[in-house]
Amino acid sequence: MSTILHVFFCFLMFIITSFNLGLQSGCSKRDISISQSRHPTSGIPEFIVQIVNTCVTGCPPSNIHVRCGWFASTRILNPITFKRLSYDDCLVNGGRPLKSSQSIRLTYANSFMYPFQFKSASFC
């Protein structure tokens, strides 16, 4: 009887481990990289933001939102690339999927740097 239970337990652990590994191979919030640097210019400071999907397997994340405070720029941005929807909610890439290794780059001008952080995305 104990041999049957042992075999069943080992089989159950194999299934659970396989299931967990399958979940970890998909894209997640860890795969959305946001970096920012100051662009050396005179006048109003400019900042370069790069948002990259570093996930190489699984379906690409879409409907990516970042925390952005009251984001504003004296430099006009393409709203399809980056758009503030409300306080602390900016939409990236018009909600379209960000493919593997694809990046969105934008340059904005303001007297200070906004602290962008990942907020949410749809991972299928």
Residue 40 belongs to a domain: yes
pLDDT at 89: 98
Q: pTM of the predicted model, to two decimals?
A: 0.76
Residue 95 belongs to a domain: yes
Question: Where does residue 28 rank: exposed (0-12), middle (13-18), buried (19+ CB within 10 A)?
Answer: middle
Extract long-range pairs of 1-4: CB within 8 Å, 24+ residues apart: none
Residue 109 belongs to a domain: yes
Residue 97 belongs to a domain: yes
pLDDT tens digit sequence for 48-101: 999 999 998 888 999 999 999 999 999 999 999 999 999 999 999 999 999 998
Structure token pair of residue 2: 């104990």
Residue 9 belongs to a domain: no
pLDDT at 25: 55
Residue reference for tokens 């990236």: 92
pLDDT tens digit sequence for 14-49: 333 333 334 445 888 999 999 999 998 888 999 999
Residue 118 belongs to a domain: yes
Residue 89 belongs to a domain: yes
In the chain, the number of structural domains is 1
Q: Which range marks the domain in which residue 79 is found?
A: 27-122
Residue 10 belongs to a domain: no
